[in-house]
Structure 1
Amino acid sequence: MTVTLAEEIMLLSLDDESGATRQRQAVGWAVAGGLLLELVLAERVTVKGKYLALSDDTPTGEELLDGRLGLIGTWLRGRSKRRVTDWLTKDQAKAVGAAVERLRERGVVSVEESKVFGVFPRRRYPEADGTVERALRERLVAVVLRGAEPDQRTAGLVALLHAAKLHRLAFPDLPRGQVSARMAEIAAGQWAAESVRAAIRDMQAAMVAVTAVTVVAATG
């Protein structure tokens, strides 16, 4: 089963048994970035400098991506480009729900509904099929810990995790310092065309910017 980068990030975040989302805020930025990167790889959008532009609105055939493609087109409101940070800020909360729902549709997670204090509705998504996450973690171990050459998608995933500082989701039993240098190396490596790597660098910068603003707002 081939899942999107956004779904892979969600799988790393969801607790297998309880279905709770770990590091929810940072994960939101990474999931939104993952959807955007998929559209860059599919040559539907471009990310250059601080700006995002729609280059082709032809459906990709993946409903999760096509949903974002339509939303981006509406969000641009006829403009040729808008700031990447504005899109990530707009999409990060909704992107998580969309990615989890797609995992549920695929049968990778199930849904459990309850009420907090008997009043507030809550949904959690425990794992239903562990094969997808196991394969994902094996790929990450191979490229980050064993030095294997990453393919384009795995390198892109590592770059997103590194930008959002989600090292512990990928490697919960290892200190961040043990993996961050290798993840940074992969993110900066020659794993894709320069246009894609430039887009990744610009998206990383945007994610760092919006994350910093969020941290300041939370502590102010």
Structure 2
Amino acid sequence: MSSATGAAAPTKTLTLVDEFLLTLLNEDAGYFHQVPGWDLNCAVVGAAMGELSLRSRIDTDVESLILLDDTPTGDPALDPILEKIANEPSRHSAQYWVERLAIRGESIIDATLERLVLLKVLEHHDGGFWTLARAGWQANLRGQADDETAAEFVKTRISRAIFGEELPDPGDAIIISLTNACDVLRLIFQLDDEAAARVEHLCKIDLIGRAIADAITDSVAGPLLRRSTFAKAIPVVSLIKLLRNPHVRRGNLPALFASLAEEYGPVFQIKVPFGQRMIFLCGPRTNRWVHRHGRMYLRARDYLEEFEKVYG
């Protein structure tokens, strides 16, 4: 193991984590393509591990992930992951680390989005949607001011690799592997059979990208670690207690839900006989989380489908 002293390696303008999240952004809608929470966290950790591999901090083979250098990078999204790996006395597979570190996915996403806003790559707006800055980000980071967004810059490189004949560099190969593992590439590009076959080929050309993508796919299909470590059952409100609650008789719904949240916690469910269960999210802290992260974990499609059938 190398010493933790010395200067950190120079960083790229945008890290793999930056570029991976930008690839997930739907520029027309201003929201990120929906990826299930566990899958997204695994992929974000995979992007961070890919960046560490490009900086020669880690390497991986079929069976294990190997620490090469524990020198901090100076990146707050990467160094906690590097420290965890460096402090582990035993070697483990890439899948093990993807799953173990998946709980850090949200903090990595938050730190990365804040960084992209500070770099004037992204702008965050009320309502939880994002827009991409043109020209300014390149003037700040690349010394030029072309009329192109950062996401377009990344997606153009990926498009050339998928629909052209040139091979991507290792970083782009990892991004292609990650977005393919999240089943997002088909939402970004129109992939015919030939392009889909090309994607499968590109996902195999880089060893570290292939190992991380395989780890993500295996984690989603059959996790080594128990997902229940990161979640608990949603408490069910007793119907008897609900009907006996004095606020029900008074018709004071805000007071009713406040009292239920105090007893059951900020998230609870009510199961109505012969009806669908209803899940309630109560309190300012919970609803701030919904405002910021809800589009990654929640969806209204099922609720709105009937309206679409009637109104189009």
Q: Secondary structure at the match of 2:59?
A: strand
Matches within 5 A, 1:4-153: 4-16=15-27, 18-25=29-36, 26-61=39-74, 63-64=75-76, 67-74=77-84, 77-89=87-99, 90-91=101-102, 92-114=105-127, 123-129=128-134, 130-153=148-171
Q: Deviations over 1:146-186 (max 9, x none)?
A: 22232232222222222332212431xx1464532111112
Check whether the contact 2:174–2:210 (CA below 8 A) recurs between aligned residues: no
What is the Cα-based RMSD across aligned positions, in Å?
A: 2.7
Q: Secondary structure at the match of 2:65?
A: strand
CA distance in 1, matches of 2:91, 2:126: 40
CA distance in 1, matches of 2:197, 2:153: 23
1:137 Cα deviation (Å)? 1.8
Check whether the contact 2:157–2:172 (CA below 8 A) recurs between aligned residues: yes
Instruction: Tell me the TM-score normalised to structure 1 length.
Output: 0.74
Task: Choose 1 or 2 for highest CA Rg.
Answer: 2
Which shows bigger deviation, 71-80 or 6-15?
71-80
Equivalent pairs: percent with the same residue? 24
CA distance in 2, matches of 1:24, 1:96: 13
Check whether the contact 1:46–1:54 (CA below 8 A) recurs between aligned residues: yes
CA distance in 2, matches of 1:80, 1:41: 22
Partner of 1:188: 204
Which residue identity is paired with 1:205?
A: D
Check whether the contact 2:61–2:208 (CA below 8 A) recurs between aligned residues: yes
Structure 2 gaps of 5+ residues are 1-11, 135-147, 228-312
Partner of 1:118: none
1:165 and 2:153 correspond? no
Instruction: Tell me the TM-score normalised to structure 2 length.
Output: 0.54
